[in-house]
Copies of this chain bind each other. A is one copy, B any other.
Amino acid sequence: MNVDFHSSALAESITALRERNPLVQCLTNHVVMNFTANVLYAVGASPAMCDNPEEAAGFATQVASGVLVNNGTPSSEQIQGMYLASAAAVAAGKPWVLDPVAAGGLPWRTAEVKKMMDANPATILRGNASEILGFLGGTSGRGVEATDSTTDAVDAAHELARRYHCVVAVSGPVDMITDGDELVKLSNGSAMLTQVTGVGCALGAVMAGYAAVTSPLNAAIAATSHMNIAAENAASVARGPGSFAVELLDALARLSAEQAADRVKIS
């Protein structure tokens, strides 16, 4: 583990994101579409929520810089769009991120996202510990909330990373990120992050943005660190979950590459 290397890559990634302003195509759940779009603008990327079967593939091929698939509120039409967009992204050599919401806990959606991943492996697979364990084949807790610790999910993350030749990012109090070889642990963040809906979902979109400007491993680290260090700043001034969400958007936009590199807790 070369901590200086990762800190330096983090600063470079943040600068690159803001300079290149990647357009992230989000096929995501209805709960978080608005927040995800605003988070993407705040970090320095741009959103486009193009998720219908008529347009999803063409948009991924011709317009998007990266693609996010998050199956939090899947409809039959949107699931079709997700297959088409993920296949088009792989064919076009563009990164795509899979956030398999409630994998393991809900059989139908778990089967659908596994089929997507088997057909066209994602660049980054992102979830909480229960979702990563659930994706591999265990069963998990209560819907979208993690009931397992990230440490429990490390073996599953390694196995999935090697199987799909992808990066796996497990979010939690300590974030675990692996490419199947190296394991990076990130320890920034705030307990407030779990009191606002959609932060994890938005994080997946931010990873897709970073993956358009740097390597998949750097992208997962940069997105996680950008979100978690901004969350520390936001939590220091928030008076509750409502003001935290507002301050988080402001903090995402204000975080400098230098502050991120100074503050990142990596091991």
Give A33's nearest chain B residue, CB to CB.
Answer: B31
Residues of B within 8 A of A105 (CB): 63
Residues of B within 8 A of A197 (CB): 34, 37-38, 41, 47
A49 to B32, CA, bound (A): 11
Residues of B within 8 A of A31 (CB): 33-34, 37, 47, 49
Q: A6-14, A127-135, A150-158, A242-250: which lies at the B interface?
A: A242-250
Nearest chain B CB to A21 CB, angstrom units = 9
Take A75-B77, A196-B38, A243-B250 as given contacts and tell me if A109 and B55 are in contact as well, using a CB distance cutoff of 8 Å: yes
* Extra 15 A-B pairs, beta carbons < 8 Å, given A23-B143, A241-B253: A31-B33, A31-B34, A34-B35, A38-B241, A42-B241, A47-B197, A48-B144, A50-B143, A55-B106, A55-B109, A63-B142, A240-B252, A242-B248, A242-B253, A243-B250
Nearest chain B CB to A236 CB, angstrom units = 13
* Residue A115 at the chain B interface, CB threshold 8 Å: no
Residues of B within 8 A of A102 (CB): 48, 50
Residues of B within 8 A of A41 (CB): 195-197, 241
A5 to B218, CA, bound (A): 58
Number of copies: 3
Chain A interface size, as a band, is 35 or more
Q: Interface readout for A231-267 with B: 1 if CB under 8 Å, 0 if not?
A: 0000000011111011111111110000000000000
Residues of B within 8 A of A241 (CB): 38, 41-42, 249-250, 253
Take A239-B250, A240-B250 as given contacts and tell me if A142 and B29 are in contact as well, using a CB distance cutoff of 8 Å: no
Give A46's nearest chain B residue, CB to CB.
Answer: B145
Residues of B within 8 A of A42 (CB): 195, 240-242
* Residue A52 at the chain B interface, CB threshold 8 Å: yes
